[in-house]
Amino acid sequence: MGRYIVDFVCDEAKVIVELDGVEHGSPIQQDHDRVRDAWLETRGYRVLRFWNDEVEKNLLGVLAVIEQAATSRRPLSPALPRKGGGGPTARPTRPSSQDLL
C-alpha cells in the first residue's frame, strides 16, 4: 500500500492487521510504525496491531477484535501510549485483545 507492505488487509472493511515481533519494541521502529500507521489512516484504514505472542496465546480474542473492527466503523478503544526505555527486551505497552473487547 503506497510504499508500505502490510501483513493483512481487508479493503472492503478498510482494516489492516499487523502482527508484530519484538523488533517493534525499539524506539526507532515505534517511530516508523507511528508514521506508517498515520499514513495508512489518512487513507481511511484502521490499523490493528497485535504482538505475535498475543496471537499465539489468545487467538480467539484477537479474532474477535478483528471481527468487531471489520463490522463496525466506531472506535474500538483509545490508543494507549507506548512506553519505551529499558534494555533491548523492553516492549511498548499495547491494548490487548482482552482490553478491547
Query: What is the separation, in whole angstroms, between the first and last Cα of the chain?
Result: 28
Is 59 within the bounds of a domain?
yes
Q: Are 95 and 77 in contact (CB under 8 A)?
A: yes
Residue 3 belongs to some domain of the structure: no
Q: Which tens digits make up the pLDDT trace of 36-48?
A: 999 999 999 999 9
Domain encompassing residue 89: 8-100
Name the domain count of the chain: 1
88: in domain = yes
pTM to 2 decimals?
0.69
Secondary structure (3-state) at 55: helix
Assigned domain for 41 exists = yes
pLDDT in tens, 39-97: 999 999 999 999 999 999 999 999 999 999 999 865 444 444 444 433 333 344 455 55
